[in-house]
Amino acid sequence: MTDEEKKQEKKAQDKLIDSGGLAGEVSQLINKYAGGQIPVLVDEKDPKNGLINGELLKIYQRGFAGENLVPLGVLFAKSTNVKWEEGNADYHLSEWSKGDWTKVCSAIRLCTKGNKECELCDRQWAAVAKGHGDVVAYMCVHGLVDFAMPIFVEKEAIAVIFTGQVAPKEGTFWNREFVEENGVFLLEGCDNSGVEARRVTLERFGESERQYGLKAGTLLRKLNQDVDANDAVEVTPEDVEELRNKLREAGRHLSNLAESTYRLEKSKAVGGLKSAIAWSAAQVDVERVAETLPSIVEGVSEAATLICEYFGIDYMLVLNIKTEKSSFRILLENTPEKMPWKRGVWADELDEESFRGLADVVASFPRFLADADLWPLRKRPFFDWVATWLQGKQASRCVGARLDRAGLLPCVLLAGRKAGLKLSDFHEQDKSDFARIIEDIGAVINIVLFIDELRAAGESQDVFLEDVAHEIRSPVQNLLIKIERLKSGSVQPNEVLDEVGRLGAQVRRIHQLSQRIWVLERLRRGYSELDKRGLVGVHQAIMEVVRTLDDVAKGKNLTILVAWQMKEWRAIRIDHDLFFQAMLNLVDNAIKYSSEGTEIRIDGEMKLYPKCRISVINRGIEIKEQYRDNIFKRGVRTSEAKMHIWQGSGIGLCIVKAFADFYHGDVKVECNPIQESSDFVTEFRLTFTGAFL
Amino acid sequence: MSNMERKRVLFIEDEEELVRDLPPILKSKGFEVTATTDVAEALRLFAESDFDVVLTDIAMPPAPDMDGKALAYGRETGVEVARRLHAIRTDIPIVALTVIRDQQIVSRMRKAGIRDILHKPQELQRIVETLERVTRW
């Protein structure tokens, strides 16, 4: 940088600082801590060289040395609520006490509108930032924040760096909000407590390894290396030999896995989930698989490194076997033009022009290795993951390939050949080793995915059985005691009828449970079990439900109203028993949670496809938003919904969901407060499709 | 058992039918029973009155001041109840009447000071015998 340039830069800094705004103040702080190396907070003309993409990373690396975390963003806050002692105005992060943390976290809370909503989106508490000890700060940065650490404090200004991963809010690519021109979020007047805040996004580096249980430090080391080192790494014969040894070792592991894979797939295919669980539990040494994976990943990673190095490819997306090529294309098509990686291509579809473009890649960009990027695919939807990952990498061009069919290496070779690159100096055996190991990783991923599925299914089944057992034992206990009471003669003759009625209620409770379990079992067995010929008059079936539950509703002085228009609906082909049970559960649920003396409304509409929508609306207790998804899940042990909707096992709503899924529909719940009342209006909206006669 | 010897039982149970049916039977067996379906009320009653034994369910809706998540959304409410009761008085025996069989939860129940665990469904005779045994001293 020439003297003149330095002067200009200083002038720009002064301008910011002189502006008296928080940006200037923070810029001053950053300059102080970064040794005056940071030109400006944000250089709109050249954002890549400003704080966001450059210097703050170095600060991060210095501050987080040894921490296996990925920087996510920085929050700068000016809070009148945080008072620092005179003479000790700035703290290095290591000097922060728990008290300091509490103050800072309080300031962060204030920046998030009184613990309610994120300023940047419509989520409530979308993220939780954990500090030292018990200190927890809540704020939304459109995703999960693992950790928060302050980097600067001066008087009333605070800077907290957040680390973790960024999950796009929704959709198929990341939020525009996150990638605004200068990457700065201005949070003006975010509350009325004297707090101003500006949040600055920081370059994100893809996934946190820690988040996905990968070996510690790899990504960070890589980042450290690549910040300063743009030189190509020379691949020596020793490197190749070492790699080959690793590949052989990985190959041995893989052969051990092959048999297990075969058994797993076979059992999954022929026996259904239940037998698969039993079979795999007996046949698969899960621990052994877990031990094997790291070495396989390492071997494949190194193979990928060499391939990337040889062909000069910046980024190699090693995609999950389930990833569809069309998904990759959609990702690219949805990428804004300004995104540098717009020109990513699917390897075996590259046209000549694109391959020439690929050659540019070789010349223009530093090498990166996708070493740690295989496993996040297990955890995240493809789009989210790729978007975040590429954003973090600042990828310009990339090559995508699936692991199935031809495998990655042939795609890459094809890409290289078309691009006019010189072909490999490796021996054919080397290529073969690469190809095999990269293909095999797909099998390993599948094993891991399947084991995850099995574990989840097994756990879910355990919880479900426990719920069922719970639901049976309670009424049986009630019956036992009731019988004892009757036997004891303490029941007066005029009370006997009532007691018998109560006994009946307990028996019906058990009967209802058995019905629900049977319905779920029929659904599990699939389409062949259902009545495909029966025609159901929806209105008739609903009236049948209403009659069945009439006594229960009267017990709470509830009125059930069914929309008269439903009488005009045409009969449709759906399984009567299943529909009846689903509706019974919905109405029964509404009765349970309605306030006494209120109305339950059943309404709906039918379209000609035919597609039906039935709403069951009641007035009563609130189902909090965060619990609304869980109430339809089967065997969710930690369903907070069950704390609020305590009665019953929750199986009833599982059946409603299963019915909706089976008939290509859905069930949603909405819950809105009623003004000047503690009650809420809850609407369960069931949609499904059937067939006309 | 004469009135003077009647043992006072605090019965905490969210199954309304059981709260309705069990106390009169226990009364006929010589116990004086205070029953409630409300955990918060149970804690208040325990603090305000003298009981010889507590008979409590485990899986119940937690009290408002309890960390529902930490209590597995109510599955372990009785454990926290026992812990709090034990913090007030360690000499009052606590008996659980529960459907829970999970060994980890059972272990936490023991650590919280629950002396005896009766698994539902349980015969009345066994419930009575247990209450008599733990209140003998």
Which of A301-310, A672-681, B84-93 is predicted least confidently?
A301-310
B16 touches chain A (CB under 8 A): no
Asked whether the predicted pLDDT for residue B58 surpasses 60, the reply is yes
- pLDDT, position A110: 42
pLDDT band (50, 70, 90) for residue A575: confident
Locate tokens 């190959």: which residue?
A251
pTM of the model: 0.44
Asked whether the predicted pLDDT for residue A636 surpasses 60, the reply is no
Please, what is the angle between helix A3-18 and helix A22-33, to 10°?
A: 130
Whether B72 and A481 lie within 8 Å, measured CB to CB: no
B22 touches chain A (CB under 8 A): yes
pLDDT band (50, 70, 90) for residue A692: low
pLDDT tens digits, one per residue of A447-493: 444 444 555 555 555 666 666 777 788 888 889 998 888 888 888 88
Asked whether the predicted pLDDT for residue A348 surpasses 90, the reply is no
Q: What is the mean pLDDT of chain A?
A: 52
Average pLDDT over residues A594-611: 84
Q: How far apart are CA A172 and CA A150, in angstroms?
A: 32
**Chain A residues within 8 A of B123 when measuring between CB atoms:** 480
A637 touches chain B (CB under 8 A): yes
B119 residue type, one letter: H
Bigger pLDDT: A1 or A194?
A: A1
Query: Is A167 in contact with A127 (CB distance < 8 Å)?
Result: no
Scanning B61-90 for CB atoms below 8 A from A yields 61-62, 68-69, 72-75
Bigger pLDDT: A326 or A500?
A: A500
pLDDT tens digits, one per residue of A162-192: 433 232 233 222 222 222 222 222 222 222 2
Whether A637 and B59 lie within 8 Å, measured CB to CB: no
What length does chain B have?
Answer: 137
pLDDT tens digits, one per residue of A556-572: 899 999 988 888 887 88
Q: Give A541's contacts (C-beta < 8 A, 6+ positions apart).
A: A576, A579, A580, A583
Asked whether the predicted pLDDT for residue A296 surpasses 90, the reply is no
Residues of chain B above pLDDT 70, percent = 92
Letter string b/e over residues A91-123, b meaning 16 or more CB atoms within 10 A of that residue's CB:
beeeebeeebbbbbbbbbbbbbbeeeebbbeee
Whether A640 and B68 lie within 8 Å, measured CB to CB: yes
pLDDT band (50, 70, 90) for residue A662: confident
Bigger pLDDT: A86 or A186?
A: A86
| Helix, strand and coil percent figures for chain B, each rounded to 5 | 45, 20, 35
